[in-house]
Amino acid sequence: MKIALITGITGQDGYYLSRFLLNENYIVHGIVRRSSNFNTQRIDNLISEYGPEKKLILHYADLTDSSSIHALVSKILPDEIYNLGAQSHVAVSFLNPGYTADVSISGTTALLESIKNSPKKIKFYQASSSEMFGGKENTLLDETSLLDPKSPYAAAKVFSHNLTKIYRDSYGIFGVNGILFNHESPLRGETFVTRKISRAVGRIKNNLQSKLTLGNIHAFRDWGFAGDYVKGMYMMMQHETPDDFVLSTGETHSVKEFSELAFAHVGLDWKEFVITDKRYERPNEVHHLLGNSEKAKKILKWEPETSFEKLVQIMVEADVKKAEQEKLLISEGLLSPTWEHPIGL
Ligand code: NAP
Ligand code: F7E
């Protein structure tokens, strides 16, 4: 059985990737960082199913603590490491630039050093991002496009992206960069715009919220479904030679279009509910992102399977159900009815 180590296993992609690898009969180890609350909600069902058989094993470690990373890699000796852990929110990276850089940069460096010093040949996947391109209108972005980061988040990702290439070229490490465009799901963090919208639609439909406040609704993103993208990560790691690959849908839509479609799905007009506020805008914006994943299609035979319309539908339907459950709990006095997040993003 192959052994994988996943950083960021408690995140959106962490769930979809571990589920995929467990189905492929891998033993999956994951890093969980200490927090004052349980942070394993997304993978709790996988823990119940695979934990007792020791096919899914969690360890306390932190990407900012290189000693914890070195110790874990030498103990587990995995066949493959998927480095998904990050402070992944672009707006937050402007507020916490040092921490954002620490997690990405120290984490990737510690992992690559551990691999370099390991007696075993360990493959490495780096979660690179379309944010590294900075974006340009009417421009299809691929593996050869210029990197022009516009946020501390993107700058830190560029470092890790380059470091992965450097360790590949210098030490012959099997290191791949998956340059993934935005991918979403019902498990997307609630402060990312698609989930913020689908949550609001569910709650507004159930009379638990009256308005949705957004920032720049004229930003365009190439949005796909996370479940499709983790398959691409796996395929990059099985390819005979390590390389960099873009994963994207080749379609771009605005935040406004996403909102329009999401509200329309439950028979509501977005204009009656969406308001905008500068507090959700960023000091520097990536206005347009559109990817070209022809290389992944040709070499890996990877293609996204979920359309934009289907993605919106999946997310809205899941969040309508979630809001219905919340409504019931609120009516029984078991859940607080407040919604607006005090910090808000
Ligand atoms: P996510 O849901 O925000 O998950 C991030 C994960 O990183 C969580 O498990 C988080 O743990 C963990 N983490 C944060 N700080 C850590 C630390 N100091 N030590 C160890 N783990 C830490 O992100 P995602 O959407 O799944 O994305 C996965 C990766 O792909 C990220 O690196 C992201 O930057 C990158 N990426 C994402 C997209 C996208 O559209 N989703 C596109 C391109 C690239 P907690 O649960 O404890 O917070
Ligand atoms: O913003 C605009 C916002 O936060 C998308 C991360 O996974 O994908 C993600 O980064 C767009 C931006 O994702 C709100 O200004 C408008 O233009 O959902 P987002 P992101 O910044 O694209 C990349 C590929 C990653 O790698 C990252 O890890 O939507 N927008 N109004 C808003 N965004 C948020 N969050 N909240 C709003 O109210």
**Which is higher by pLDDT, 339 or 314?**
314
> pLDDT for 97-121, tens place per residue?
999 999 999 999 999 999 999 999 9
In the predicted structure, residue 143 carries a pLDDT above the cut 60 = yes
Tokens representing 171 are: 């030490």
- pLDDT computed for residue 336 by the predictor: 82
- pLDDT computed for residue 241 by the predictor: 98
Structure-token match 């607006």, residue found: 340
| pTM score | 0.97
User: 48: CA distance to ligand 2 center in Å?
Assistant: 32
In a mutational test of the pocket of ligand 2, which residue from 158, 193, 275, 311 has the highest number of ligand atoms less than 8 Å from its CB? Answer: 193
User: 88: CA distance to ligand 2 center in Å?
Assistant: 10
From 252, 236, 253, select the one nearest 291 (Cα to Cα): 252
CATH architecture for the domain at 3-184+222-247? 3-Layer(aba) Sandwich (3.40)
* Mean pLDDT value of segment 262-290: 97
**Whether 57 contacts 29, CB under 8 Å:** yes
The ligand whose atoms approach the alpha carbon of 227 most closely is 1
- pLDDT computed for residue 344 by the predictor: 64
Using CA atoms in the order 38, 44, 47, 52, what is the torsion angle rounded to 10 degrees?
90
**Mean pLDDT value across the chain:** 96
Q: Which residue's CA is the closest to the ligand 1 atom numbered 10?
A: 8
- pLDDT computed for residue 197 by the predictor: 97
Round to whole Å and give the CA distance between 179 and 98. Answer: 23
**Whether 128 contacts 142, CB under 8 Å:** no
Domain edges within the chain: 3-184+222-247, 193-221+252-288+307-331
CATH architecture for the domain at 193-221+252-288+307-331? Alpha-Beta Complex (3.90)
User: 112: CA distance to ligand 2 center in Å?
Assistant: 28
> pLDDT for 195-225, tens place per residue?
999 999 999 999 999 999 999 999 999 999 9
Provide the pLDDT confidence category of residue 137 given band limits of 50, 70 and 90.
confident
